[in-house]
Structure 1
Protein backbone atom coordinates (compact mmCIF):
# COMPACT_ATOMS: atom_id res chain seq x y z
CA UNK A 1 0.00 0.00 0.00
CA UNK A 2 1.40 3.37 -1.03
CA UNK A 3 1.51 6.13 1.54
CA UNK A 4 0.21 9.63 0.94
CA UNK A 5 2.95 12.10 0.08
CA UNK A 6 2.97 13.89 3.46
CA UNK A 7 3.18 10.62 5.41
CA UNK A 8 5.84 9.22 3.08
CA UNK A 9 7.95 12.35 3.46
CA UNK A 10 7.60 12.23 7.24
CA UNK A 11 8.73 8.59 7.28
CA UNK A 12 11.49 9.40 4.76
CA UNK A 13 13.00 11.93 7.15
CA UNK A 14 12.86 9.40 10.01
CA UNK A 15 14.37 6.63 7.85
CA UNK A 16 17.29 8.82 6.70
CA UNK A 17 17.94 10.05 10.25
CA UNK A 18 18.05 6.43 11.43
CA UNK A 19 20.21 5.21 8.51
CA UNK A 20 21.99 8.19 6.89
CA UNK A 21 23.90 5.99 4.42
CA UNK A 22 20.79 4.51 2.80
CA UNK A 23 20.68 4.93 -1.00
CA UNK A 24 17.86 6.44 -3.05
CA UNK A 25 17.32 3.02 -4.64
CA UNK A 26 16.93 1.37 -1.23
CA UNK A 27 14.52 4.12 -0.19
CA UNK A 28 12.50 3.67 -3.39
CA UNK A 29 12.21 -0.07 -2.71
CA UNK A 30 11.32 0.54 0.95
CA UNK A 31 8.52 3.00 0.08
CA UNK A 32 7.44 1.20 -3.13
CA UNK A 33 7.92 4.31 -5.27
CA UNK A 34 10.28 5.32 -8.07
CA UNK A 35 13.79 6.65 -7.48
CA UNK A 36 12.66 9.93 -9.07
CA UNK A 37 9.91 10.24 -6.43
CA UNK A 38 12.49 9.80 -3.67
CA UNK A 39 14.76 12.42 -5.29
CA UNK A 40 11.86 14.88 -5.54
CA UNK A 41 10.91 14.21 -1.91
CA UNK A 42 14.52 14.82 -0.80
CA UNK A 43 14.64 18.01 -2.86
CA UNK A 44 11.41 19.32 -1.30
CA UNK A 45 12.66 18.42 2.18
CA UNK A 46 16.18 19.84 1.54
CA UNK A 47 17.76 16.46 2.30
CA UNK A 48 21.11 16.15 0.49
CA UNK A 49 22.00 13.17 -1.70
CA UNK A 50 23.83 10.20 -0.19
CA UNK A 51 27.32 11.44 -1.12
CA UNK A 52 26.75 14.75 0.67
CA UNK A 53 25.19 13.03 3.71
CA UNK A 54 28.23 10.74 4.01
CA UNK A 55 30.61 13.67 3.67
CA UNK A 56 28.70 15.68 6.30
CA UNK A 57 28.61 12.84 8.83
CA UNK A 58 32.25 11.99 8.17
CA UNK A 59 33.48 15.57 8.46
CA UNK A 60 31.65 16.13 11.74
CA UNK A 61 32.69 12.79 13.19
CA UNK A 62 36.32 12.61 12.08
CA UNK A 63 37.45 16.27 12.21
CA UNK A 64 38.55 15.90 15.82
CA UNK A 65 39.90 12.37 15.36
CA UNK A 66 42.15 12.41 12.30
CA UNK A 67 45.58 13.70 13.32
CA UNK A 68 48.00 13.28 10.41
CA UNK A 69 46.03 15.31 7.83
CA UNK A 70 42.86 17.35 7.45
CA UNK A 71 39.64 15.43 6.81
CA UNK A 72 39.15 17.29 3.52
CA UNK A 73 42.59 16.03 2.38
CA UNK A 74 41.41 12.41 2.51
CA UNK A 75 40.46 11.09 -0.92
CA UNK A 76 37.00 9.59 -0.56
CA UNK A 77 34.61 9.84 2.35
CA UNK A 78 35.61 8.29 5.68
CA UNK A 79 32.74 6.27 7.12
CA UNK A 80 34.61 4.42 9.89
CA UNK A 81 37.85 5.17 11.72
CA UNK A 82 39.59 3.78 14.77
CA UNK A 83 43.10 5.25 14.95
CA UNK A 84 45.93 2.71 14.73
CA UNK A 85 43.34 -0.04 14.13
CA UNK A 86 41.09 0.24 11.07
CA UNK A 87 39.37 2.66 8.71
CA UNK A 88 36.89 2.58 5.83
CA UNK A 89 36.25 5.13 3.11
CA UNK A 90 34.00 5.24 0.05
CA UNK A 91 34.52 6.96 -3.29
CA UNK A 92 32.20 6.99 -6.28
CA UNK A 93 34.15 7.28 -9.52
CA UNK A 94 33.31 10.58 -11.22
CA UNK A 95 33.69 11.76 -14.82
CA UNK A 96 36.91 13.68 -14.08
CA UNK A 97 38.53 10.51 -12.63
CA UNK A 98 38.22 8.36 -15.77
CA UNK A 99 39.83 8.18 -19.19
CA UNK A 100 37.39 9.86 -21.60
CA UNK A 101 37.80 7.17 -24.28
CA UNK A 102 36.87 4.09 -22.22
CA UNK A 103 35.40 5.44 -18.93
CA UNK A 104 37.90 3.44 -16.84
CA UNK A 105 39.16 5.06 -13.63
CA UNK A 106 42.73 6.29 -13.63
CA UNK A 107 44.75 4.13 -11.23
CA UNK A 108 46.18 7.03 -9.27
CA UNK A 109 42.72 7.80 -7.88
CA UNK A 110 42.41 4.29 -6.38
CA UNK A 111 45.96 4.60 -5.02
CA UNK A 112 45.20 8.05 -3.58
CA UNK A 113 42.09 6.78 -1.79
CA UNK A 114 44.02 3.89 -0.24
CA UNK A 115 47.12 5.92 0.62
CA UNK A 116 45.24 8.82 2.20
CA UNK A 117 43.20 6.33 4.26
CA UNK A 118 46.45 4.70 5.47
CA UNK A 119 47.75 8.16 6.49
CA UNK A 120 44.47 9.06 8.25
CA UNK A 121 44.63 5.81 10.22
CA UNK A 122 47.91 6.75 11.95
CA UNK A 123 47.53 8.23 15.44
CA UNK A 124 50.30 10.78 15.07
CA UNK A 125 50.71 14.38 13.95
CA UNK A 126 53.08 13.23 11.20
CA UNK A 127 52.52 10.17 9.03
CA UNK A 128 54.33 9.65 5.73
CA UNK A 129 54.32 6.79 3.27
CA UNK A 130 57.84 5.40 2.99
CA UNK A 131 57.02 2.50 0.67
CA UNK A 132 54.02 0.77 -0.85
CA UNK A 133 53.34 -2.50 -2.65
CA UNK A 134 50.16 -2.25 -4.72
CA UNK A 135 48.18 -4.47 -7.04
CA UNK A 136 45.30 -3.47 -9.29
CA UNK A 137 42.95 -6.47 -9.49
CA UNK A 138 40.47 -5.21 -12.08
CA UNK A 139 39.41 -2.03 -13.87
CA UNK A 140 36.99 0.29 -12.11
CA UNK A 141 34.46 2.16 -14.23
CA UNK A 142 32.63 5.46 -14.15
CA UNK A 143 29.88 5.49 -11.52
CA UNK A 144 31.15 2.52 -9.51
CA UNK A 145 31.54 2.97 -5.76
CA UNK A 146 34.89 1.92 -4.33
CA UNK A 147 34.98 0.92 -0.65
CA UNK A 148 38.51 0.97 0.78
CA UNK A 149 39.16 -0.92 4.03
CA UNK A 150 42.43 -0.28 5.87
CA UNK A 151 43.83 -2.28 8.78
CA UNK A 152 47.02 -1.88 10.80
CA UNK A 153 48.95 -5.13 10.34
CA UNK A 154 52.09 -4.38 12.33
CA UNK A 155 53.74 -1.59 14.32
CA UNK A 156 57.53 -1.88 14.27
CA UNK A 157 60.08 -0.50 16.75
CA UNK A 158 61.67 1.69 14.08
CA UNK A 159 58.60 3.93 13.80
CA UNK A 160 57.12 2.12 10.80
CA UNK A 161 53.49 1.03 10.83
CA UNK A 162 52.38 -1.45 8.19
CA UNK A 163 48.87 -0.80 6.90
CA UNK A 164 47.03 -3.17 4.55
CA UNK A 165 44.32 -1.70 2.34
CA UNK A 166 41.82 -3.65 0.24
CA UNK A 167 39.41 -1.80 -2.06
CA UNK A 168 36.19 -3.33 -3.33
CA UNK A 169 33.42 -2.60 -5.81
CA UNK A 170 30.41 -4.36 -4.34
CA UNK A 171 32.08 -7.51 -2.95
CA UNK A 172 34.77 -7.76 -5.65
CA UNK A 173 38.40 -6.92 -4.80
CA UNK A 174 39.68 -4.27 -7.23
CA UNK A 175 42.83 -2.99 -5.49
CA UNK A 176 45.13 -4.09 -2.70
CA UNK A 177 48.08 -2.40 -1.13
CA UNK A 178 50.58 -2.66 1.69
CA UNK A 179 51.68 0.75 2.96
CA UNK A 180 54.73 1.27 5.15
CA UNK A 181 53.93 4.39 7.16
CA UNK A 182 56.53 6.44 9.02
CA UNK A 183 55.31 8.08 12.22
CA UNK A 184 57.21 10.70 14.20
CA UNK A 185 56.55 9.04 17.55
CA UNK A 186 57.28 5.30 17.59
CA UNK A 187 54.57 3.21 19.19
CA UNK A 188 54.92 -0.06 21.07
CA UNK A 189 55.52 -2.98 18.71
CA UNK A 190 52.33 -4.81 17.87
CA UNK A 191 51.79 -7.66 15.43
CA UNK A 192 48.23 -8.53 14.45
CA UNK A 193 47.17 -11.85 13.02
Structure 2
Protein backbone atom coordinates (compact mmCIF):
# COMPACT_ATOMS: atom_id res chain seq x y z
CA UNK A 1 0.00 0.00 0.00
CA UNK A 2 1.08 3.58 -0.62
CA UNK A 3 1.31 6.36 1.96
CA UNK A 4 -2.27 7.45 1.35
CA UNK A 5 -3.64 3.93 1.77
CA UNK A 6 -4.30 3.03 -1.88
CA UNK A 7 -3.61 -0.49 -2.93
CA UNK A 8 -2.11 -1.00 -6.36
CA UNK A 9 -5.42 -1.78 -8.09
CA UNK A 10 -7.06 1.35 -6.61
CA UNK A 11 -4.04 3.43 -7.60
CA UNK A 12 -4.26 2.14 -11.18
CA UNK A 13 -7.93 3.18 -11.34
CA UNK A 14 -7.09 6.64 -9.94
CA UNK A 15 -4.09 7.04 -12.26
CA UNK A 16 -6.21 6.21 -15.31
CA UNK A 17 -8.99 8.55 -14.15
CA UNK A 18 -6.60 11.46 -13.46
CA UNK A 19 -4.94 11.11 -16.87
CA UNK A 20 -8.30 10.88 -18.64
CA UNK A 21 -9.23 14.20 -17.02
CA UNK A 22 -5.85 15.86 -17.57
CA UNK A 23 -3.40 14.17 -19.98
CA UNK A 24 -0.80 16.88 -19.20
CA UNK A 25 -0.06 15.60 -15.70
CA UNK A 26 3.60 14.69 -15.30
CA UNK A 27 4.88 11.71 -13.36
CA UNK A 28 5.90 14.17 -10.64
CA UNK A 29 2.36 15.59 -10.47
CA UNK A 30 0.84 12.11 -10.29
CA UNK A 31 3.31 10.98 -7.62
CA UNK A 32 2.40 13.96 -5.47
CA UNK A 33 -1.36 13.49 -5.89
CA UNK A 34 -1.25 9.74 -5.24
CA UNK A 35 1.33 9.92 -2.45
CA UNK A 36 3.83 7.53 -4.04
CA UNK A 37 7.27 7.80 -5.60
CA UNK A 38 7.88 8.87 -9.19
CA UNK A 39 9.35 5.42 -9.84
CA UNK A 40 6.10 3.81 -8.67
CA UNK A 41 4.15 5.99 -11.11
CA UNK A 42 6.50 4.98 -13.93
CA UNK A 43 6.05 1.30 -13.09
CA UNK A 44 2.27 1.74 -12.92
CA UNK A 45 2.24 3.49 -16.32
CA UNK A 46 4.34 0.69 -17.81
CA UNK A 47 1.94 -1.96 -16.46
CA UNK A 48 -1.05 -0.02 -17.80
CA UNK A 49 0.71 0.69 -21.13
CA UNK A 50 0.29 4.45 -20.65
CA UNK A 51 3.01 6.52 -22.36
CA UNK A 52 4.79 9.39 -20.62
CA UNK A 53 3.28 12.87 -20.85
CA UNK A 54 5.42 13.98 -23.80
CA UNK A 55 4.28 11.01 -25.89
CA UNK A 56 0.63 11.43 -24.87
CA UNK A 57 0.74 15.07 -25.98
CA UNK A 58 2.46 14.24 -29.30
CA UNK A 59 -0.18 11.64 -30.09
CA UNK A 60 -2.98 14.13 -29.40
CA UNK A 61 -1.24 16.85 -31.44
CA UNK A 62 -0.92 14.72 -34.58
CA UNK A 63 -4.69 14.58 -34.90
CA UNK A 64 -5.23 18.24 -34.03
CA UNK A 65 -3.10 19.66 -36.85
CA UNK A 66 -5.11 17.73 -39.47
CA UNK A 67 -8.19 19.76 -38.55
CA UNK A 68 -6.68 23.20 -39.24
CA UNK A 69 -8.32 25.29 -41.93
CA UNK A 70 -8.21 28.99 -40.99
CA UNK A 71 -4.52 29.14 -40.13
CA UNK A 72 -1.34 27.36 -41.22
CA UNK A 73 0.29 24.98 -38.74
CA UNK A 74 3.42 27.17 -38.72
CA UNK A 75 1.31 30.15 -37.62
CA UNK A 76 0.17 28.50 -34.39
CA UNK A 77 2.07 29.91 -31.41
CA UNK A 78 2.76 27.01 -29.09
CA UNK A 79 2.04 23.37 -29.83
CA UNK A 80 -1.52 22.56 -30.82
CA UNK A 81 -2.68 19.60 -28.75
CA UNK A 82 -6.41 19.28 -29.36
CA UNK A 83 -8.66 21.00 -31.84
CA UNK A 84 -12.38 20.50 -32.27
CA UNK A 85 -13.12 23.00 -35.04
CA UNK A 86 -16.26 24.98 -34.31
CA UNK A 87 -16.03 24.26 -30.60
CA UNK A 88 -12.78 24.20 -28.60
CA UNK A 89 -9.02 23.71 -28.66
CA UNK A 90 -5.92 23.50 -26.52
CA UNK A 91 -2.26 24.41 -27.03
CA UNK A 92 0.91 24.35 -24.94
CA UNK A 93 3.66 26.96 -25.03
CA UNK A 94 6.98 26.02 -23.42
CA UNK A 95 8.73 29.25 -22.46
CA UNK A 96 12.32 29.48 -23.70
CA UNK A 97 14.94 32.07 -22.79
CA UNK A 98 14.53 33.71 -26.22
CA UNK A 99 10.89 34.48 -25.36
CA UNK A 100 11.73 36.32 -22.15
CA UNK A 101 12.56 39.97 -21.65
CA UNK A 102 16.30 40.33 -21.15
CA UNK A 103 16.11 42.62 -18.13
CA UNK A 104 13.42 40.83 -16.09
CA UNK A 105 13.57 37.24 -17.45
CA UNK A 106 9.76 37.35 -17.68
CA UNK A 107 7.90 36.03 -20.74
CA UNK A 108 7.18 38.82 -23.22
CA UNK A 109 3.40 39.26 -23.11
CA UNK A 110 3.20 39.21 -26.90
CA UNK A 111 3.74 35.44 -26.77
CA UNK A 112 0.81 34.88 -24.40
CA UNK A 113 -1.41 37.03 -26.61
CA UNK A 114 -0.22 35.33 -29.80
CA UNK A 115 -0.78 31.86 -28.35
CA UNK A 116 -4.34 32.77 -27.35
CA UNK A 117 -5.11 34.62 -30.60
CA UNK A 118 -3.79 31.88 -32.90
CA UNK A 119 -5.76 29.28 -30.93
CA UNK A 120 -8.95 31.39 -31.14
CA UNK A 121 -8.57 31.78 -34.92
CA UNK A 122 -7.85 28.06 -35.40
CA UNK A 123 -11.30 27.14 -34.01
CA UNK A 124 -13.16 28.70 -36.93
CA UNK A 125 -14.03 26.47 -39.89
CA UNK A 126 -13.28 28.98 -42.65
CA UNK A 127 -10.50 29.96 -45.04
CA UNK A 128 -10.16 33.61 -43.98
CA UNK A 129 -10.48 34.43 -40.28
CA UNK A 130 -9.34 37.64 -38.64
CA UNK A 131 -9.48 38.98 -35.10
CA UNK A 132 -11.69 42.05 -34.78
CA UNK A 133 -11.31 42.87 -31.10
CA UNK A 134 -9.71 41.35 -28.05
CA UNK A 135 -10.19 42.07 -24.36
CA UNK A 136 -7.32 40.52 -22.44
CA UNK A 137 -6.00 40.36 -18.92
CA UNK A 138 -2.53 39.27 -17.80
CA UNK A 139 -2.78 37.71 -14.33
CA UNK A 140 0.81 36.96 -13.34
CA UNK A 141 4.31 36.91 -14.86
CA UNK A 142 5.41 33.72 -16.62
CA UNK A 143 9.03 32.59 -16.50
CA UNK A 144 11.46 30.49 -18.55
CA UNK A 145 10.78 26.74 -18.61
CA UNK A 146 7.17 27.14 -17.51
CA UNK A 147 4.52 25.50 -19.69
CA UNK A 148 1.50 27.63 -20.57
CA UNK A 149 -1.61 25.59 -21.37
CA UNK A 150 -4.18 27.67 -23.28
CA UNK A 151 -7.77 26.50 -23.67
CA UNK A 152 -10.11 28.19 -26.13
CA UNK A 153 -13.87 27.80 -26.40
CA UNK A 154 -16.36 29.35 -28.79
CA UNK A 155 -19.01 30.85 -26.52
CA UNK A 156 -21.22 32.55 -29.10
CA UNK A 157 -21.78 32.69 -32.87
CA UNK A 158 -23.84 35.24 -34.77
CA UNK A 159 -23.59 35.23 -38.54
CA UNK A 160 -19.90 35.44 -39.40
CA UNK A 161 -18.91 36.62 -35.89
CA UNK A 162 -17.58 34.33 -33.18
CA UNK A 163 -16.87 35.11 -29.54
CA UNK A 164 -14.00 32.96 -28.30
CA UNK A 165 -12.95 32.80 -24.65
CA UNK A 166 -9.34 31.79 -23.93
CA UNK A 167 -7.80 31.01 -20.56
CA UNK A 168 -4.12 30.20 -20.09
CA UNK A 169 -2.72 28.41 -17.08
CA UNK A 170 0.66 27.39 -15.69
CA UNK A 171 -0.17 24.24 -13.78
CA UNK A 172 -3.46 25.21 -12.08
CA UNK A 173 -2.76 28.95 -11.89
CA UNK A 174 -4.48 31.36 -14.29
CA UNK A 175 -1.86 33.57 -16.00
CA UNK A 176 -3.86 35.07 -18.89
CA UNK A 177 -7.43 35.30 -20.08
CA UNK A 178 -9.10 36.91 -23.03
CA UNK A 179 -12.24 37.31 -25.08
CA UNK A 180 -11.64 37.42 -28.82
CA UNK A 181 -14.21 38.53 -31.37
CA UNK A 182 -13.15 36.83 -34.60
CA UNK A 183 -14.70 37.13 -38.04
CA UNK A 184 -15.12 34.65 -40.89
CA UNK A 185 -14.34 36.90 -43.87
CA UNK A 186 -14.16 34.13 -46.50
CA UNK A 187 -17.20 35.28 -48.49
CA UNK A 188 -16.11 38.92 -48.45
CA UNK A 189 -12.56 38.10 -49.56
CA UNK A 190 -13.83 35.78 -52.33
CA UNK A 191 -16.19 38.49 -53.55
CA UNK A 192 -13.39 41.09 -53.59
CA UNK A 193 -10.96 38.73 -55.35
CA UNK A 194 -13.52 37.87 -58.05
CA UNK A 195 -14.79 41.39 -58.70
CA UNK A 196 -13.53 43.20 -61.84
Establish whether TM, by shorter chain, passes 0.5.
yes
Does the CA-based 8 Å contact 2:161-2:184 persist in structure 1?
yes
Give the deviation of 1:21 after TM superposition: 5.2
* 5+ residue gaps, structure 2: 1-18, 32-36, 43-50, 188-196
Give the deviation of 1:60 after TM superposition: 2.2
**Which of the pair is proportionally richer in helix?**
2
Measured at CA, do residues 95 and 49 of structure 1 come closer, stay the same or move farther in structure 2, by a change above 3 Å? Answer: farther
Aligned to 2:39: 31
- Structure-2 separation of matches of 1:57 and 1:125: 26
Partner SS state of residue 139, structure 1: coil
* 5+ residue gaps, structure 1: 1-17, 36-46, 187-193
- Structure-1 separation of matches of 2:98 and 2:27: 23
TM-score normalised per structure 1: 0.69
- Structure-1 separation of matches of 2:38 and 2:52: 18
Measured at CA, do residues 24 and 100 of structure 1 come closer, stay the same or move farther in structure 2, by a change above 3 Å? Answer: farther
- Structure-1 separation of matches of 2:143 and 2:92: 15
Aligned to 1:104: 106
Does the CA-based 8 Å contact 1:62-1:71 persist in structure 2?
no
TM-score normalised per structure 2: 0.68
Partner SS state of residue 105, structure 1: coil
Greater Cα offset, 58-67 or 116-125? 58-67
- Structure-1 separation of matches of 2:85 and 2:157: 13
Runs (4+) of structure 1 exceeding 6 A deviation are: none
- Structure-1 separation of matches of 2:116 and 2:40: 37
Aligned to 1:88: 90
Give the deviation of 1:173 after TM superposition: 1.1
1:167-182 alignment runs, 5 A limit: 167-182=168-183
CA RMSD of aligned residues (A): 2.9
Aligned to 1:140: 142
Partner SS state of residue 63, structure 1: helix
Partner SS state of residue 122, structure 1: coil
Greater Cα offset, 80-89 or 59-68? 59-68
Task: Work out whether 1:62 is the aligned partner of 2:76.
Answer: no
Partner SS state of residue 89, structure 1: strand
Does the CA-based 8 Å contact 2:101-2:107 persist in structure 1?
yes
Does the CA-based 8 Å contact 1:84-1:122 persist in structure 2?
yes
- Structure-2 separation of matches of 1:171 and 1:22: 11
Give the deviation of 1:102 after TM superposition: 2.0
Measured at CA, do residues 153 and 48 of structure 1 come closer, stay the same or move farther in structure 2, by a change above 3 Å? Answer: closer
